[in-house]
Amino acid sequence: MHNRRKREVKEARTLTKKKFVNYSRWGYFFIAPFFIIYLVFSLFPLITTFYDSFFENYRVGLMQVGPTFVGFANYLKIFESDILKYGLNTVILWILNFIPQITVSLLLAIWFTSYSLNLKGQQFFKTIIYMPNLIMAAAFSMLFFTLFSDGGPINLYLGNAGIIKEPIRFLARVDWTRTLICIMNFMMWFGNTTILLMSGIMGIDVSLFEAARIDGASSLKTFTKVTMPLLLPIFVYVLITSLIGGIQMFDVPQILTNGNGAPDRTSMTLVMFLNKHLASMNFGLAGAVSVLIFFVTVGFSVLVYKTLMKNYDPKRSAK
Amino acid sequence: MKKALAVLLALVLVSGASSVFAAPKASNGGKVLNIYVWNTEFQSRFKDYFEKAGLVPKGVTVNWVITANQGSAYQDKLDATLLAQDKAKADDKIDIFLVEADYALKYVNTNYSLDVIKDIGMSKADISQMFKYTKDVMTDSKGVLKGVSWQACPSGLLYRRSVAKEIFGTDDPAKVQEQLNTWDKFDAAAATLKAKGYFAVSGYDDDFRAFSDNMTAPWVDKNGKINLDPSIMKWIDQTKLYTDKGYNNKASLWSPESAAGAAGKVFSYFGPSWFIDFCLAGWTMADAKGPKAVGNGTYGDWAFCKGPQSFSWGGTWLVAAAGTDNKDLVKAIFEKLTVDKATLIQISKDTGDFTNNEAGITELAKSDYKNAFLGGQNHYGLLLDAVKSIDRSKITPYDQGMTEKLQAAFKEYFDGKVTKDKALENFYTAILEQYPNLTK
């Protein structure tokens, strides 16, 4: 009796073993490459950046200075610099490009997904609006630099058309330089944003729109009461990724102003400031700037997420 | 995820493959000659007078690594490669690198550059005809010569003959020089030119070198403190005046606008002889691919005089890098392109470049040589006088950074966007970012 019981247990065990192969191990195996690469190329440099920021460590030409531990001296130096001005520049450049970008993208996303409009040639337009994103920012910026230079095609055209007598010196003016940067960023990113928002809108149950229409809601009402509340998670995602992208903005203004952030450093963004230190391999100061940017990014992201998602009820969007 | 996996796979494949199929080390080194440089000026000299003469040994590949000069990009690239020179494979080691006076000292006083006499094996006689200052620049603190050049860079004023006739009634270099031999006279001429619809100079930085080469003290003193020389302040005030009064065309150096002025309304450019062939001649031609001859744009409508102040600008030196596996070839290149009198005279005849051979240039100055671009003028006599007064004892390794940052910062002052004090502050900010070891 006792033996039989034992045998049964044993059989049951082998059965369990055979029946339930532990697939979760394979899952770990498959996600391992990402984590290994993340650890080596992202997390490790992130931590060393914190570490580096406490050292005086730079190279001028062939002469290496440091690394010497200096405590918070690099942070003090950074706060003595015009970093607040560069931060403000970054915010201005981001907002000036994000407001038109989100407006146009929302409008396009709604048009493209609207059943009542049923636009023709959607694929064509979707491809076209995404195109500028495929050009390298540096190339795009160089193109604008040439177009809007003192003797460039835009000035030539305006001059020949008799609209202006003296060439407009676009890149010597704060307003124009900033406008050009925003136009470029807008053109590069509105297609991407449109596609993200479209995917968000397409995830909303069509019956909700139909119900709204049957109830006689206007398009504006439908937008504010149905589309927007349900689109919120994607909208917040777009906002936060764009914000992070905005804080890290440098390629377009860097090339357009030859790295100087001209005029008078009014188009110098935080990351351009960071690059200034990297040019002299100044890992200490650059590290300090990076750490500050890191905290600013985290702070803003949390703030945006908390405020916007406060009223969001996941049950309402459950299908 | 997919991407990450693909990258990982690729990495594994590459690292695996390279360890299995690693090529055997080249036993007979010197198959590749690596030359580091920032533009194509020397490349064209090398091709025309060394390669075409069949002097590159069979089986040797010349590998040009060209990195733009601006923003210290070339120096950064060169520094990084030099610092790794010891560990590099023989065929990847730098054999020759080129330097400018603006930062030559950075390399002269290090072990990265080889002794031209002892290491490369050139003789004292070889270098005897080189102009003294070209050797001074490349001589280290112990008196060892670390580099040689095929050119010397006495500079002057290049002006439009037809405009000079209109303004001064003559286009003869000697007579025009009398009208322009001081800055006061140049200012007065600028006003006259403006009245007739011409610009005295193309932009802000054209005559910068005339001032910066006449500084009374180096840019940086012994303690690492930045020195703003009175000569530089003079340039700032003059350029502000010129900009406000419309004497210049508000162009930045090397910009397309500056180049366009040569075929337009600009009366003069300041520059050395390399500036003629490598820059100005090309700018003056209406048809860039057309013949280098009178009638193509303003080609041939130019002349050379000393101008308000004598100065020198630039110059390119060849340096043999420590660790080169091509010493014999390097020596051959140095001898052919910087010593051989016949070759140097030919370069001068073909391009108008002031080559680094006193006997050769003296011969040319006395000959019936006529420069087509300069309307038949023989400019070598004039420059031969100027070259002897060149004094580059005040150069520092920081000159390129100083020049670039100063010009960029003060452009905004000239444009009226910032005050002089603010421009100065911006200059200090930018320069201390680049050279954190210096002080204000």
Nearest CA in chain B to A147: B256
The span from the CA of B81 to the CA of B97, in Å, is 11
pLDDT tens digits along A41-66: 999 999 999 999 999 988 887 878 87
Across chain A, mean pLDDT equals 86
What confidence tier does A6 reach under pLDDT thresholds 50, 70, 90? low
Q: Which residues of B touch A30 (CB under 8 A)?
A: 1, 5
Give the CATH number of the domain where residue A106 resides.
Answer: 1.10.3720.10
CATH topology of domain B156-311+371-434: D-Maltodextrin-Binding Protein; domain 2 (3.40.190)
Q: Are residues A91 and A174 in the same domain?
A: yes
Of A65, A169, A279, the CB nearest to B437: A65
H-assigned helices in B116-251: 132-137, 161-168, 173-179, 183-195, 208-212, 230-245
Answer yes or no: is A277 within a domain: yes
Q: DSSP state, A170?
A: G
In chain B, residues under CATH classification 3.40.190.10 are 30-152+314-366, 156-311+371-434
Give pLDDT, residue A172.
Answer: 87
Q: Which residues of A touch B94 (CB under 8 A)?
A: none
Three-class HEC string of A88-104: HHHHHHHHHHHHHHHHH
Give pLDDT, residue A4.
Answer: 66
**A188 SS3 class:** helix
**Assigned architecture for domain B30-152+314-366:** 3-Layer(aba) Sandwich (3.40)
Q: Per the CB < 8 Å rule, is B411 touching A262?
A: yes
Q: Are residues A35 and A161 in the same domain?
A: no
The span from the CA of B355 to the CA of B360, in Å, is 8
Tokens 């650890």 correspond to A39
Q: Per the CB < 8 Å rule, is B429 touching A65?
A: no
**B155 SS3 class:** strand
Q: Which residues of B touch A147 (CB under 8 A)?
A: none
Q: Per the CB < 8 Å rule, is A34 touching B112?
A: no
Q: Which residues of A touch B258 (CB under 8 A)?
A: none
Answer yes or no: is A186 within a domain: yes
Region at B59 (left for phi over 0; alpha for psi -120 to 50; beta for the rest): left
Q: How distant is the Cα of A212 from the closest Cα of chain B, in angstroms?
A: 40
How, if at all, do strands B154-160 and B311-312 pair? antiparallel
The span from the CA of A280 to the CA of B434, in Å, is 6
B interface test, pick of A80, A150, A258, A271 with most B CB neighbours within 10 Å: A150
Q: Per the CB < 8 Å rule, is B437 touching A58?
A: yes
Q: How distant is the Cα of B166 from the closest Cα of chain A, in angstroms?
A: 26
The answer to whether the Cα torsion of A150, A151, A157, A159 is positive or negative is positive
Q: Which residues of B touch A259 (CB under 8 A)?
A: 71
pLDDT in tens, chain B (440 residues): 444 545 444 444 444 333 333 333 333 347 899 999 999 989 999 999 998 888 888 888 899 999 998 888 899 899 989 988 888 888 889 999 999 988 998 899 888 999 989 898 888 888 889 998 999 999 988 889 999 999 999 999 999 999 999 999 999 999 999 999 999 999 999 999 999 999 999 999 999 999 999 999 999 998 889 999 999 999 999 999 999 999 999 888 888 888 888 888 999 999 998 888 888 888 888 888 888 888 888 898 999 999 999 899 988 999 999 888 888 889 989 999 999 999 999 999 888 889 999 999 999 999 999 988 998 899 999 899 888 888 888 888 899 899 999 999 999 999 988 999 999 999 999 999 989 889 88
The span from the CA of B158 to the CA of B302, in Å, is 7
Q: And the tokens for B388?
A: 């002897």
Answer yes or no: is A47 within a domain: no
Give pLDDT, residue B13.
Answer: 41
Q: Which residues of B touch A63 (CB under 8 A)?
A: 437
**If interface means Cβ-Cβ distance under 8 Å, which residues of chain B face chain A?**
1, 4-5, 7-8, 70-72, 75-76, 79, 82-83, 103, 106-107, 110, 112, 250-251, 255-257, 260, 397, 408, 411-412, 415, 417-418, 422, 426, 429-430, 433-437
Q: What residues have CB less than 8 Å from A281, skipping those under 6 apart?
A: A58, A59
Residue B56 half-sphere exposure, CB side, CA atoms within 13 Å? Answer: 17
Q: Are residues A224 and A294 in the same domain?
A: yes
Q: What residues have CB less than 8 Å from B225, skipping those under 6 apart?
A: B438, B439, B440
Residue A56 β-bridge partners: A68
Q: How distant is the Cα of B4 from the closest Cα of chain A, in angstroms?
A: 6
Answer yes or no: is A285 within a domain: yes
How, if at all, do strands B32-37 and B61-66 pair? parallel
Interval A143-163 mean pLDDT: 89
Nearest CA in chain B to A58: B436
Q: Are residues A95 and A209 in the same domain?
A: yes
Q: Are residues A162 and A19 in the same domain?
A: no
Q: Are residues A36 and A138 in the same domain?
A: no
Q: Per the CB < 8 Å rule, is A33 touching B4?
A: yes
The span from the CA of B199 to the CA of B193, in Å, is 6
Q: What residues have CB less than 8 Å from B163, skipping those under 6 apart?
A: B193, B198, B267
What confidence tier does A315 reach under pLDDT thresholds 50, 70, 90? low
Answer yes or no: is A92 within a domain: yes
Residue B269 β-bridge partners: B158
The span from the CA of B44 to the CA of A209, in Å, is 70
Q: DSSP state, B23?
A: P
Residue A195 half-sphere exposure, CB side, CA atoms within 13 Å? Answer: 14
Q: Per the CB < 8 Å rule, is A150 touching B82?
A: no
**B100 SS3 class:** strand
pLDDT at A212 over 80: yes
Q: Are residues A203 and A96 in the same domain?
A: yes
Give pLDDT, residue A213.
Answer: 86
What confidence tier does A75 reach under pLDDT thresholds 50, 70, 90? very high
> The domain containing residue A36 runs over which residues?
2-41
Question: What ipTM score was computed for the predicted complex, to two decimals?
Answer: 0.80
Give pLDDT, residue B291.
Answer: 82
Give pLDDT, residue A3.
Answer: 64
Q: Which residues of A touch B412 (CB under 8 A)?
A: 172, 262-264
Q: Are residues A29 and A88 in the same domain?
A: no
Answer yes or no: is A217 within a domain: yes
Q: Per the CB < 8 Å rule, is B415 touching A63?
A: no
Q: Per the CB < 8 Å rule, is B429 touching A82?
A: yes
- B303, B276 in Cβ contact below 8 A? no
Q: Are residues A21 and A103 in the same domain?
A: no
Answer yes or no: is A62 within a domain: no
Query: Per the structure, how many domains does chain A have?
Result: 2
Residue A121 β-bridge partners: none
Residue B64 β-bridge partners: B35
Q: Per the CB < 8 Å rule, is A150 touching B251?
A: yes
pLDDT tens digits along A259-268: 888 788 888 9
The span from the CA of B364 to the CA of B337, in Å, is 17
Q: Per the CB < 8 Å rule, is A277 touching B433?
A: yes
Of A33, A276, A280, the CB nearest to B8: A33
What confidence tier does A10 reach under pLDDT thresholds 50, 70, 90? low
Q: And the tokens for B322?
A: 């420590």
The answer to whether the Cα torsion of B430, B435, B436, B440 is positive or negative is negative
Q: Per the CB < 8 Å rule, is B408 touching A62?
A: no
Give pLDDT, residue B248.
Answer: 92
Residue of A92, A129, A131, A84 lying closest to A109 (CA atoms): A129
Q: And the tokens for A314?
A: 């996941």
Q: And the tokens for A159?
A: 């001059």
